């Protein structure tokens, strides 16, 4: 009898919860952390949807896609937030994502047309260094200098892969030569962004691969304007972070509403100072003062998703060959 009572209790409890629909959102770790945009976006959407938003944080963007693939159609996830343009072709190829109607008037430096994914924030990759020093203004000048740089491994980190694509987009067939020139500048290669940025902050290297928006964090959150991003003549490769909904979701309408919410003024207003990236829709009053002070590249580079994916193997082999010496 006791067991029966217990079982009934559990059943009732489950039903009570089931009255409020649950929207499961998978994202990368730093999005859902206390300092990321997750908590505010969760509260904001819950206030209007009458649902319970549950964020699950998984590693970084690449780990996130791998997780969704592993779970396949059984996945509990309704929405995935935090893949990027480098992963987009592979994400689409899984066939797990459903088309979305969500859209907005994007303030992106490139036109955006995609049936399956919406962009929610973006940034330019850049080398970040200390203000006041004489800095190189191109990859070639960097390679000729004796500055030390820390980069991330393109086999385990999205910024690392971004740099690979940046060199490829800017130099094409000359990419190998550029990497050979950079080889003696590269102090070391880290598995992820945080290790590299940590090494830079510790003074181990002169420059670190990060984003043009990184200095905005130091200005706004720490009142420290000693970090600057280096503008490069070749232009800067973009990372556009994207979100999509899963075809197997049991909450397709909520998922669609959530994607639209992500593009709305409220969520877009949260992103710059929590994710330290540019919003895809500029807020009416413009961005915070700290974002006005930072470098804005003249030229945006971005390979089309399919092309980027096709080039990845070759670019990786070039990178490995040039640096493995």
Q: Burial letters for 231-250: b for 16+ Cβ neighbours within 10 Å, e otherwise? A: bbebbbbbbbbbbbbbebbe
Minimum distance between the CB of residue 188 and other proteins, rounded to whole angstroms?
Answer: 5
Nearer to other proteins (CB atom), residue 19 or residue 34:
34
Nearer to other proteins (CB atom), residue 184 or residue 298:
184
The token pair that represents 99 in the structure block: 């088309």
Minimum distance between the CB of residue 325 and other proteins, rounded to whole angstroms?
Answer: 7
Of 240, 247, 241, 242, which is closest to residue 77 (Cα–Cα)? Answer: 247
Which residues in this chain contact other proteins in the complex, by CB under 8 A?
A: 26, 29-30, 33-36, 54-59, 62-63, 65-67, 69-72, 74, 76, 90, 148, 153, 155-156, 183, 186-191, 193-195, 197-199, 201-205, 214, 217-218, 221, 276, 319-320, 323-325
Nearer to other proteins (CB atom), residue 47 or residue 324:
324
Nearer to other proteins (CB atom), residue 153 or residue 256:
153
Nearer to other proteins (CB atom), residue 37 or residue 297:
37
Minimum distance between the CB of residue 103 and other proteins, rounded to whole angstroms?
Answer: 29
Minimum distance between the CB of residue 317 and other proteins, rounded to whole angstroms?
Answer: 8
Q: What is the largest CA-CA distance in the chain?
A: 80
DSSP 211-262: ETTHHHHHHHHH----EEEPP-TT-EEEEEEEEEEETT-S-HHHHHHHHHHH
Minimum distance between the CB of residue 169 and other proteins, rounded to whole angstroms?
Answer: 20
Residue 80 and residue 68 in contact, taking contact as beta carbons nearer than 8 Å:
yes
What is the β-pairing status of strands 186-190 and 97-98? unpaired
Nearer to other proteins (CB atom), residue 113 or residue 313:
313
Reduce the DSSP state of residue 149 to 3 states and report it. strand
**Radius of gyration for the chain, computed over Cα atoms and rounded to the nearest angstrom:** 21
Minimum distance between the CB of residue 105 and other proteins, rounded to whole angstroms?
Answer: 30
């Amino acid at each position: 009898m006791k067991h029966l009572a217990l079982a009934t209790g559990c059943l009732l409890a489950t039903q009570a919860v089931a009255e409020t629909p649950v929207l499961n959102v998978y994202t990368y770790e730093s999005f859902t952390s206390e300092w990321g945009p997750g908590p505010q976006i969760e509260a904001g959407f819950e206030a209007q949807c009458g649902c319970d938003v549950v964020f699950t944080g998984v590693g970084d963007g690449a780990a996130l896609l791998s997780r969704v693939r592993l779970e396949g159609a059984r996945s509990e996830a309704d929405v995935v937030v935090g893949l990027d343009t480098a992963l987009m072709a592979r994400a689409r190829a899984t066939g797990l994502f459903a088309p979305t109607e969500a859209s907005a008037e994007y303030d992106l430096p490139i036109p955006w047309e995609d049936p399956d994914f919406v962009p929610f924030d973006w940034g330019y990759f850049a080398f970040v260094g200390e203000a006041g020093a004489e800095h190189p203004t191109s990859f070639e000048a960097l390679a000729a200098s004796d500055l030390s740089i820390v980069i991330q491994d393109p086999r385990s980190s999205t910024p690392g892969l971004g740099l690979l694509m940046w060199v490829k987009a800017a130099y094409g067939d000359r990419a190998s030569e550029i990497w050979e020139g950079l080889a003696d500048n590269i102090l070391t290669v880290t598995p992820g962004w945080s290790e590299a940025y940590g090494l830079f902050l510790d003074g181990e290297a002169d420059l670190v691969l990060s984003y043009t928006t990184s200095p905005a964090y130091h200005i706004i959150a720490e009142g420290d304007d000693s970090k600057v991003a280096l503008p490069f003549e070749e232009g800067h490769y973009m990372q556009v972070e994207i979100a999509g909904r899963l075809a197997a979701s049991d909450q397709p309408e909520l998922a669609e509403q959530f994607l639209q919410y992500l593009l709305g003024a409220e969520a877009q207003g949260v992103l710059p100072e929590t994710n330290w990236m540019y919003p895809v829709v500029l807020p009416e009053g413009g961005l915070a003062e700290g974002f006005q002070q930072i470098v804005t590249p003249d030229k945006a580079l971005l390979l089309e998703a399919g092309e980027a994916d096709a080039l990845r193997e070759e670019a990786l082999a070039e990178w490995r060959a040039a640096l493995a010496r």
